[in-house]
Amino acid sequence: MEIKLAKPDQRETVIDLINELWTYSDIAVERDNISPAVDLIFSQPGLAEIHLLYEGDEVAGYFILVPSVSIEYGGLYVVLDELFVREPFRRRGLGRQIISFVLDRCRQQDWLVIEAMADAENKVAQYFYGSHGFTPEPWVHLSRRVGREQRGRE
CATH of the domain at 66: 3.40.630.30
The share of the chain scoring above pLDDT 90, in percent, equals: 75
Q: Can you say whether residue 46 is alpha, beta or left, with left for phi > 0 and alpha for psi between -120 and 50 degrees?
A: left
User: Is the Cα torsion angle 58, 61, 20, 15 positive or negative in sign?
Assistant: negative
Output the pTM of the full model. Answer: 0.89
Per-residue pLDDT tens for 115-153?
999 888 889 999 999 999 999 988 888 888 887 665 454
More confident residue, 100 or 23: 100
Answer yes or no: is 141 within a domain: no
pLDDT the model gives residue 149: 61
Number of structural domains, the chain?
A: 1
Rounded mean pLDDT of 65-87? 96
DSSP notation for 135-154:
---SSPP-----STTTTT--
Domain span at 12: 2-131
The Cα–Cα gap between 22 and 58 comes to 20
Task: Look up residue 44 and give its DSSP letter.
Answer: S
pLDDT the model gives residue 151: 44
Answer yes or no: is 30 within a domain: yes
The Cα–Cα gap between 61 and 54 comes to 7
Per-residue pLDDT tens for 81-90?
989 999 999 9
